[in-house]
């Protein structure tokens, strides 16, 4: 009986003395575990797979850099890369457009909440629904856009059947919810703009664009940063809209890297796991350039202030 407190005593005191250090790790443990199993490990597994030729059934065969060499000669990979670039550039339009709508909506009119939620609506509905709606909008023969162009120019334009327009057509569909997202980020940012600074600027005679550029925007920098980050990542991981609206077509001209990876590794005509993994690695490295840049900037800002 007397032995018990002795046995517990030192243990308890060890816990007590290390409690401060251990608690954060204990709270982090579930998150770290999930992150390691579902993010970190698959990343390294993809790197490993990309050096093999593997159909998912037969034994893996080591091919070294073979998959990567094949990538550079693969026309479809180049098309996907080019399309990803177009996505990246045009998707950025969501940031200024979101800002514009946010400034427009940042006023006190009766019922403004309803207008705000209506503008936010496209972000709430699923990307699949957005894709379907735009696909019907563009559809040859019965689509609204097709009929509009038919009425205007005599011959209808089937956006998604035209290799030159299709990617832009999908990006427009993607911009719709993305603008809503940027708008909501800016709306919350605008709430935090200091009224006294606006007042002071107004007294100094600033107005219009000058006011926006020199007084409001600097205060919105955190919102801009987040908006740019989510838009860059959104553009690079675009997949659902391509899959729903064109399935990569017409004749593979709207493929992006994530879709091409899916096609090669997981679709009905794919099952080249190694090749798909190589595409995923390239996409990952491109994303890493941006993510590393963002992280570097965040760390610098934190240290600087």
Partner 1 sequence: MLRKPLTAGLALSIALLAGTSAIAQQRVLTFNTDTSDPAPKAAFEALIADFEAEYPDIDVQVNLFDHEGYKTAIRNFLTADSPDLANWYAGNRMKPFVDAGQFMDVSDVWADNGLNEQLASAASSMTIDDKQWGVPYTYYQWGMYYNKALYEQVGAKVPETYDEFVENCKLFKDAGIDCLTTGTSAMWPGAGIFDYFNLRTNGYDFHMQLTGGEIPWTDERVRETFAQWNRLVEPGYITANAAAIDWQDAAALMSQGKAANYVMGNFAVATFKDGGMTDDTLGFFPFPTINPDVARAEDAPTDTVHIPAGAKNPEDAKTFLAFLARADVQTKLNAALGQLPVNNESTVDEADPFLSQGFEMLSTASGLAQFFDRDAPAEMAASGMEGFQEFMAYPDNLEDILTRLESDRQRIYAK
Q: What residue ranges bind partner 1 (CB under 8 A)?
A: 53, 55-58, 70, 75, 138-141, 158-161, 163, 246-247, 249-252, 263, 266, 268-272
CB of 64 to partner 1, least distance (A): 16
- Please classify residue 167 by burial: count the beta carbons closer than 10 Å to its beta carbon, then call 0-12 exposed, 13-18 middle and 19+ buried: buried
Q: What is the 3-state secondary structure (H, E, C) of 6-22?
A: HHHHHHHHHHHHHHHHH
Q: Are 262 and 244 in contact (CB under 8 A)?
A: no
**Contact assessment for residue 204 and residue 210, using Cβ atoms and an 8 Å cutoff:** no
Residues 220 and 189 sit within 8 Å (Cβ to Cβ):
yes
- For residue 145, give the nearest of 157, 163, 128, 132 by alpha carbon: 157
236 or 265: CB nearest partner 1:
265
Q: Which is nearer to partner 1, 70 or 90 (CB)?
A: 70
The nearer residue to partner 1, 145 or 186, going by C-beta atoms, is 145
**Cα 243 from Cα 153, distance rounded (Å):** 30
Is the Cβ of residue 88 or residue 139 nearer to partner 1 in the bound state?
Answer: 139
- Shortest Å distance, C-beta 174 to partner 1: 18
Residue 82 or 116: the one with the smaller Cβ distance to partner 1 is 82
Instruction: Report d(CA 258, CA 105) in Å as an integer.
Output: 35
Instruction: Compare residues 100 and 250 and give the one whose CB is closer to partner 1.
Output: 250
The nearest distance, CB 269 to partner 1, in angstroms, is 4
Burial class (CB in 10 A: 0-12, 13-18, 19+), 288: exposed
Nearer to partner 1, 224 or 263 (CB): 263
Minimum CB separation from partner 1 for residue 71, in Å? Answer: 13
Phi/psi for 185 (5° steps) reads -65, -45
The distance of closest approach from Cβ of residue 57 to partner 1 in the complex, given in angstroms and rounded to an integer, is 4
Least distance from C-beta 297 to partner 1, angstroms? 40
d(CA 187, CA 89) in angstroms, rounded, equals 23
Distance of closest approach, residue 160 Cβ to partner 1, in angstroms: 4
Contact 95, 227 (CB under 8 A): yes
């Amino acid at each position: 009986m007397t032995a018990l407190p002795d046995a517990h005593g030192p243990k308890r005191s060890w816990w007590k003395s290390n409690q401060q250090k251990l608690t954060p790790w204990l709270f982090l443990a579930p998150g770290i575990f999930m992150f390691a199993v579902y993010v970190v490990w698959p990343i390294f597994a993809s790197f490993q797979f990309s050096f093999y030729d593997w159909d998912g059934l037969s034994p893996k065969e080591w091919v070294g850099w073979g998959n990567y060499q094949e990538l550079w000669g693969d026309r479809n990979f180049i098309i996907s890369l080019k399309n990803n670039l177009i996505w990246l550039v045009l998707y950025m339009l969501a940031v200024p457009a979101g800002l514009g709508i946010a400034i427009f909506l940042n006023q006190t009119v009766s019922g403004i909440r309803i207008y705000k939620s209506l503008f936010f609506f496209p972000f709430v509905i699923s990307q699949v629904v957005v894709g379907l709606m735009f696909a019907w909008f563009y559809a040859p023969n019965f689509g609204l856009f097709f009929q509009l162009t038919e009425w205007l120019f005599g011959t209808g334009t089937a956006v998604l059947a035209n290799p030159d327009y299709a990617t832009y057509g999908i990006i427009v569909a993607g911009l719709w919810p993305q603008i809503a997202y940027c708008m909501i980020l800016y709306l919350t940012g605008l709430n935090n703009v200091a009224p006294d600074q606006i007042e002071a600027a107004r007294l100094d005679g600033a107005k219009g664009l000058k006011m926006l550029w020199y007084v409001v925007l600097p205060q919105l920098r955190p919102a801009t940063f987040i908006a740019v980050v989510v838009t860059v990542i959104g553009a690079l991981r675009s997949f659902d809209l391509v899959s729903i609206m064109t399935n990569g077509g017409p004749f593979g001209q709207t493929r992006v890297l994530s879709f091409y990876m899916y096609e090669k590794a997981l679709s009905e005509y794919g099952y080249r796991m190694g090749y798909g993994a190589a595409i995923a690695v390239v996409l990952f490295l491109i994303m890493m350039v941006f993510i590393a840049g963002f992280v570097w900037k965040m760390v610098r800002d934190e240290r600087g202030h």
